[in-house]
Amino acid sequence: MNAGKKFPSISFLPGVELAGSVSSGEHYHLLGLGVDLGSCTALRALMVRLVHYRRQRGEQMLAKLRELGVDLSMEQVRACCPNNVLGRPHFAEAMVRAGVCRTTRAAFERYLGRGKPAHVGRKVPSAAECLHAIHAAGAVSIWAHPMTSNSMTGRKCLRIVEELQADGLDGIEAYYPEHSKAQTDTVKKIAHERGLLLSGGTDFHGKLIAGLQLGIGKGHPFQVPDSLLQPILDRIASRRSRRSA
C-alpha cells in the first residue's frame, strides 16, 4: 500500500495469495482482495504458520542438496529473499550466485523441480482455513488461475468450485495470460452458473517469473475487463458492512 501511494491516479487493493489444499490433497492458490489491514488477526496468524512451514521446507531442501554434494547455507539463500518468505526461486538464485548452476532454470531442471532429487513438497493449510482467514480480514476470496493445473478439465474445475464455494469462495479468475480463450470461456460459464465473481490478473511476482510484465503478461495482448472491478469492490464493502453491524 505504501508503494501504491506513489500513484494516486491508480486504485490499489491490499491483497494476499495463499496456497490451500482441497479434499483430494491437491493445492490451489487463493487470493484475498481488499484485506482490511486493521482487522486481519486470523490472516496474520495463518501467514506466520506458512512462513514457518517454508523455513522447515527450506532446511529439508538444504539437507538434500548437501547429500548431493551442493554446499549451500541458509544465509546464502536468505540473501536472495528480501521478504523472508523462502521459496524455491530463492534457492535457485542462491545456487546461481554460488556457481552451482548457470541459470535458475537449470537449478530447477537438475535439483529443485518436481521429481528432482532436492525437491520437497509444500505443507499448506486447508483451503477452508485460507478462505476463513481471508473473509475474517474483510476481503473477497478468489480462486487464482484455475486452469493452469496439468490435469484440469472443465468438469474437475466445477467440482473444485463446488467444494470451495461450500467454504465461502467469492469468485474465480477467468482472465489469465496462460488461459486459452476456451479455458477463459469455461471459467466464465462456471462463474455464471454458480453466481461467482469474475477476476483477472497476470500473476506478477517480480523477477521471480522471467518475461512476465505487470498488467501485460508475457508479451502478447492481454486485458482484464474494467467491468470486473466494481462487483468486487461492492462485495468488499458489503462484507465490511456486515462485520461492523
Question: Would residue 121 count as lying in a domain?
Answer: no
The answer to whether residues 98 and 186 belong to one domain is no
Place of cell 541459470: 103
* Arithmetic mean of pLDDT, 230-235: 95
The answer to whether residues 87 and 54 belong to one domain is yes
**Percentage of the chain with pLDDT > 70?**
91
CB 153 within 8 A of CB 182: no
- What domain range is 224 assigned to? 4-34+126-244
What pLDDT digit, counting tens, does each position of 80-125 carry?
A: 988 778 889 999 999 999 999 999 999 999 999 999 999 999 899 9
The answer to whether residues 203 and 238 belong to one domain is yes
CA–CA distance, 49 with 156 (Å, rounded to integer): 29
User: Could you tell me the pTM of the whole model?
Assistant: 0.85
The answer to whether residues 26 and 52 belong to one domain is no
Q: Whose CA is closest to 111, among 95, 132, 124, 127?
A: 95
The answer to whether residues 189 and 217 belong to one domain is yes
Structural domain count, the chain? 2
The answer to whether residues 25 and 104 belong to one domain is no
Q: Which class for 101: exposed (0-12), middle (13-18), buried (19 or more C-beta within 10 A)?
A: buried
Question: Would residue 220 count as lying in a domain?
Answer: yes
The answer to whether residues 151 and 101 belong to one domain is no
Question: Would residue 183 count as lying in a domain?
Answer: yes
pLDDT, residue 161, reads 97
The answer to whether residues 19 and 79 belong to one domain is no
Question: Would residue 193 count as lying in a domain?
Answer: yes
pLDDT over threshold 70, residue 130: yes
pLDDT over threshold 80, residue 44: yes
CATH number of residue 21's parent domain? 3.20.20.140
Q: Which of 70, 85, 112 is the last residue of a domain?
A: 112
The answer to whether residues 92 and 184 belong to one domain is no
